[in-house]
Each structure stands twice: as C-alpha cells, then as structure tokens.
Amino acid sequence: MIREFGSVDVIYLIASARWTVLLALTAMVGGGLLGVIVAVLRVAPFKPFNWLAIGYINLIQGTPLLGQLFVFFFGLPLIGLSVDAWTAAALSLSIYASAFFGEIWRGSLQSVSQRQWEAGAALGLTYSQRLGHVVLPQAIRISIAPTVGFLVQLVKNTSLTALIGFVELTRASQIISGATFAPLPVYLTAAAIYFVICFSLSQLARMLERRLHVAR
C-alpha cells in the first residue's frame, strides 16, 4: 500500500534521529574512555606499549568502518554475546572512535610546546603540577576542535549501522522510502536532519575555540 510522504513521516524521521545521536554519544563516551588508554599507551615510555597502541590505531584506521561493523555483527555471537544491531553498532563504533581519539589527544598533548614544560620547571613546579596546571589545560583546549570535528564524523558514520539493521535515521528513511515510493524527498529530508545536527556541532566547536582562547 503506497501512501503519500507527509508530515507524519517527517516526524518519524526526526524521532529516529534520536537513535543517531544516542549512538554517536555512546560511541563518544565509550571511545573516549578507551581513547584515553590508547593515548597513554601511545606516549608511555615503554616501547611495547607504544607498538601495541600503534598497531591498534593502524588496524582501526586502515580498515573500513563498514567492515568493522560487519566483523562485530557476525563475530559477537561467536563469543556468546547478544546479536542485536545496537550492541554490535555501539561496540564497533566505540572501538573505532577510540583509535581516532587516541591519536587526536596524543597529538594535542605533544603539540603543547616544550617551552611550556620548561617554563613550569623554571618556576619550580613538580612534574604532575606541570602536567596538571600548565600542559593539560592547554592540551585540552587544543583538542577541542579536532574532537568535536570527529564527533561530527561519528554522527555521519552512524548511518552505516543501517546496513547491519540498526534503525537510526538512515534505516528509517529506507523504510519510509519503501512505504511511500518517494525516495527523493525522504532522503533529502534525512540529509537535512543530519545537516542540522552536524552543522550545529561544528559551529559549537568554533564557538568553544573562541571562548577558550585556544593558543595557535
């Protein structure tokens, strides 16, 4: 039964977008926690840790996200975990995010000039004081733009989870498209919703950078 594409569908699409946002946030939190570990392993003064981190990062960044999604989707049941799309998607995206966050934060930490460390030392601060009061605050400010930038990537990447059956915005638009035989307005609407979310995030990042006086 074909029906017209109407405002009911638009509302349904907007409602599905909350799964998009939820998934992205989950991946951000999960990936964030893991990312800290990855970053630490990457810069720790112990070569085997570094190599482990580098191998992990290369594996994640050197393979397609879609592939990782499918591997988790088919692999999780084999170790006894539930096979629903949400779990596979959340786990896979978290792992994906952790690799990128690890790299971003390592970069931010290392880009705080050596002279800042020296200035702190010249004032008599201990290592952890220098880290906590001088370097980390600056590293965090530097990392805001790329971190939020990656969050925008995450939101866009959630669309791929439609291909393992998770019903977020893209999957919902596939469903509506099938029901209304009006693919163009449906997908354009979906694109518009994504645009609003992503563009707002980018603007937020820009505003945050300005407010927090990020040193260049």
Partner 1 sequence: MSYNFKFDVLLRYLPEIAHGVLLTLQFSIVTMVFGLAIGLVVAIAAISPLTPIRLAARAYVEAIRNTPLLVQLFIVFFGLPSIGIRLDANTAALIALSINMGAYGAEILRAGFEAVRPSQIEAGRSLGLTAGQTFRHVVLFQAVKSIYPALASQFVLIMLTTSVVSSIGATELFHQAAFIDSRTYRSFETYTLITVSYLVLTLGFRAFFAAIYWAVFVRRPRR
Site of interaction with partner 1 (CB under 8 A):
58-59, 61-68, 70-71, 74-75, 78, 152, 156-160, 162-163, 170, 173-174, 177, 182-184, 187-188, 190-191, 194-195, 198-199, 202
Complex with partner 1: residue 79 or 122, whichever CB lies closer: 79
Nearest approach, Cβ of residue 97 and partner 1 (Å): 16
Residues 101 and 40: beta-carbon distance below 8 Å = no
CA-to-CA separations, 130 to 91, 92, 111, 124, 139, in angstroms, rounded: 35, 36, 15, 9, 12
Nearest approach, Cβ of residue 83 and partner 1 (Å): 11
Complex with partner 1: residue 121 or 179, whichever CB lies closer: 179
Residues 105 and 136: beta-carbon distance below 8 Å = no
Distance between CA atoms of residues 73 and 175, nearest Å: 21
- Of the candidates 12, 11, 25, which has an alpha carbon nearest to the alpha carbon of residue 172? 12
Complex with partner 1: residue 135 or 154, whichever CB lies closer: 154
The type of residue at 67 is G
Residues 104 and 32: beta-carbon distance below 8 Å = no
Complex with partner 1: residue 26 or 68, whichever CB lies closer: 68
